[in-house]
Structure 1
């Protein structure tokens, strides 16, 4: 197994489901975003998915889009981001950082260089939602050389053959989008919709040997509990950002404790 998958397997022996929290690098400022990441690690989250902002984050809902646009009012660069995340990774060895962004800024930085620098900074996974796997051979090779995992996404509307292909190629973990649409408000509460999510995850598990993370629309403890035994990681994005916007770090920490403890 990869370093990322090994970390997940070891952590899962201690917990029924792991927590992944999403933070936009540079929002509302670089210093404040790093302080928030540090606080999350101090609180014991298993993963932080750090989003390097892009002007057109097509998979994201309004909360994360607004945060990205605010962050981009500053001059940000990928190299500085990687170095700062590397410092956090060294200071908090019980957590792991996964870097998420869109293809444009990462392509400009250089995908080979990205994989190499991420590995040097102990960032074990990379998520590029708008990079099709069919066009990612060079990127995949660079990740393999550097020993880090490209994380692929599947959705409820991914065609079965393609879902099987993506699940089969997943290594660190497979990012299972819980519903169609962008990040934010949940659309899978209720018995009928939950049954549909259960069937969807069961279908993925038939094809994936890698761990499974579930995100998009998670806001309530019951949703986290319903994932136990069906997934390995629950990913908290827009709900955490909304709490942070309303009440700062304390409100965000309270949400995490309410959902995961």
Structure 2
């Protein structure tokens, strides 16, 4: 069981995000979600969207982001990175270039969001990478089928936002159903993980990792407090 911390790549600068990743790792984090900031992050809330916009104001060259990511891999060989990219960003980079970069540098797990259709997703999977899929807490049949058809980890909503499937009323029952459906790939839980005890909830439910986002991001200006909080989350693993 691990925690997955979000790294706003390039915010406020590439050097700053590089340093933040080192602090994450020093506090015990062994999995990080690192993004390519999108020019149109329409699925994000204002907080993350603003960070992406400011990152791109400082550096809008995706090759520079790739160079920084390679440096991070070299500096933090013990950390497993998950790459978040909007489809519009992959299109701008070029799907072939994106696949080549990820394969050459062992960024095998991709969170691909903002899809118009399945074309680029399938191209990335055919290129040898693993694409995650998102399953909401109310366990929509079509999302479960998509999870079964994918080749990456399952991103399972950790807490309901009002919608609950009476057949699977708890996170534990949701995860069990995914396993009963034959999904053997990792199940990482996020959305609603706001306190250390939420990590324990994910662990007890059978999740393989828990995404921790804004709680840590909002402590970036106070590194000692941030690292203390990371250790509190990590202790629940």
Identify which of 81, 84, 87 aligns with 2:65: 81
1:195, distance to aligned residue in structure 2 (A): 4.8
In structure 2, relative to structure 1, the CA distance for the partners of 1:133 and 1:228 (3 Å cut) is: farther
- How far apart, in 2, do the equivalents of 1:257 and 1:31 lie? 23
What SS is found at the alignment partner of 2:40?
coil
What is aligned with 1:238? 214
CA shift digits 1:192-216 (9 cap, x unpaired): 9x95333333322323210100111
Alignment pair present for 1:175 and 2:155:
yes
Q: Distance in 2 between matches of 1:221 and 1:79?
A: 36
- Give the distance between the partners of 2:44 and 2:159, measured in 1 at CA: 13
Q: Tell me, which stretches of 5 or more residues in structure 1 are unaligned? A: 1-16, 181-186
Q: Which moved more, 1:56-65 or 1:113-122?
A: 56-65
Which residue of the partner structure matches residue 183 of structure 1?
Answer: none
Please give the secondary structure, in 1, of the residue aligned with 2:113: coil
Instruction: Quote the offset at 1:228 in angstroms.
Output: 1.0
Kindly state the Cα deviation for residue 158 of structure 1 after the two structures are TM-superposed: 5.4
Residue 42 of structure 2 aligns to a residue whose secondary structure is: coil
> Is 1:258 aligned to residue 232 of structure 2?
yes
Distance in 1 of aligned mates of 2:3 and 2:170: 23
For the structure 1 residues 211 and 225, does the alpha-carbon distance in structure 2 shift closer, same or farther, using more than 3 Å as the test?
same
Look up the match of 1:156. 137
Matched pairs, number: 228
**Once the two structures are superposed, what CA deviation does each residue of 1:14-65 show, in whole Å capped at 9, x if it has no partner?**
xxx1111101111111110111012212333121111111233233233212
Measure, in 2, the Cα distance between the counterparts of 1:260 and 1:195.
Answer: 26
Q: What stretches of structure 2 of length at least 5 have no aligned partner? A: none
More helix by share: 1
Residue 188 of structure 2 is aligned to residue 213 of structure 1: yes
State the SS of the aligned residue for 1:53: coil
SS, match of residue 175 in structure 2: helix
The 5-angstrom pairing of residues 1-80 of structure 1 reads 17-80=1-64
After TM superposition, the structure 1 stretch with the greater mean CA deviation from structure 2, 53-62 or 248-257, is: 53-62
The residue that corresponds to 1:202 in the other structure is 176
TM-superposed CA distance for 1:179, in Å, is 4.6
Asked if 1:117 corresponds to 2:101, the answer is: yes
Q: What SS class does the counterpart of residue 234 from structure 1 fall into?
A: strand
Deviation of residue 100 (structure 1)? Answer: 0.5
Q: 1:12 maps to what in 2?
A: none
SS in 1 for 2:83: strand
Change over 3 Å in CA distance of 1:197–1:132 after alignment to 2: farther
Alpha-carbon distance, 1:178 to partner:
2.7
RMSD of aligned Cα (Å): 2.4
Cross-structure match for 2:124 = 139
- Give every structure 1 segment of 4 or more consecutive aligned residues whose post-TM-superposition deviation is greater than 4 Å: none
Determine if contact 1:175/1:213 at 8 Å carries over to the other structure. yes
Distance between the aligned counterparts of 1:20 and 1:220, measured in 2? 13
